[in-house]
Structure 1
Amino acid sequence: MSFLLPILTTKHEVDMAIRDTLDKVLVLRFGRASDLTCLQLDDILVKSARETSKFAEVALVDIDADEIQVYVKYFDVTLIPSTIFFFNAHHMKMDSRSADHTKWVGSFQSKQDFIDVVEAIYRGAMKGKFIVTCPLPPERIPKFQLLFRDV
């Protein structure tokens, strides 16, 4: 399924996507095509593409590509899949009642959950916000343990 979405493997490609996606939410899924949870998320992303096409662009970022490591470190992508959102080149954050507001960690339970999250980010961004509240109920938000390095 992931062959239906663009796959970014260089820093330049990611930079261009962030810079050139205007008036839409840019959804970057950091992960591996071989990971089962990434494949589950990719399936949801592909199935949601038509419904979100007016307000979002989706791309996959290969976490193992050498040139991508600057982003992996910058966004502290330690768990995959990690999904990061941008709007007009601004990093969009989401309060999903977890310790990390910078990214969505894990998959979404359904296509509608993904659509709801991206729509909430888009609506917040259109109002000038850089952080929005997650519209999903707590039981539909993946739980994860944050790992801190060098603490």
Structure 2
Amino acid sequence: MSLVLKTLTKKREVDSLIRDTIDKVLVLRFGRASDSISLHLDDILAKSAREVSKFATVALVDIDSEEIQVYVKYFDITFIPSTIFFFNAHHMKMDSGTADHTKWIGAFHRKQDFIDVVEAIFRGAMKGKLIVSCPLPPERIPKFQLFFKDI
């Protein structure tokens, strides 16, 4: 658990943060404090939070919280950590060359990668876009195997 970033465990907290974050990118990290990759990502997010604070708000979501399961199902979070972006209550998507544009799966390699992604989402959102292209080179985008349920 990060001391710098707020951890959300209730649906109501997530709902109000999505609704009340205006003209900034909202970054929600879905993961757990016992997961090493989540902790690595949390470290990067915490170290970046001040630098992105003019155009982004970052919060952690405890994926094991019972009330959060509605979001886990809605966003089909099967891999952790998964990071989801919003702008003015709109779900922002990113084309990073993977099959899933709805979320960032895994950790960022370094702080600057996270800052670059959030800036790209902010710039795109300010132009009215709901999907932006990932600014990172392919070798710095985490690779994972997508498994589709019920196929």
2:127 paired with 1:120: no
Structure-2 separation of matches of 1:88 and 1:33: 28
**Structure 1, unpaired ranges of 5+:** none
2:80 maps to a residue whose letter is I
Alignment partner of 2:57: what SS? strand
Residue 36 of structure 1: aligned partner:
36
Structure-2 separation of matches of 1:33 and 1:148: 26
TM-score by length of 1: 0.99
Alignment partner of 2:149: what SS? coil
What RMSD, in angstroms, separates the aligned Cα atoms of the two structures?
0.7
Structure-2 separation of matches of 1:55 and 1:11: 24
Alignment partner of 2:64: what SS? coil
Residue 86 of structure 1: aligned partner:
86
TM-score by length of 2: 0.99
1:81-129 deviations in Å (ceiling 9; x for gaps): 0000000000000000000000000000000000000000000000000
CA drift of 1:4 comes to 1.3
Which segments of structure 1 move beyond 6 Å, counting only runs of 4 or more?
A: none
CA drift of 1:3 comes to 2.0
In the alignment of these two chains, the number of paired residues is 151
Alignment of 1:127-146 (within 5 A): 127-146=127-146
Structure-2 separation of matches of 1:4 and 1:136: 26
Q: What percentage of residue pairs aligned between the two structures are identical? A: 79
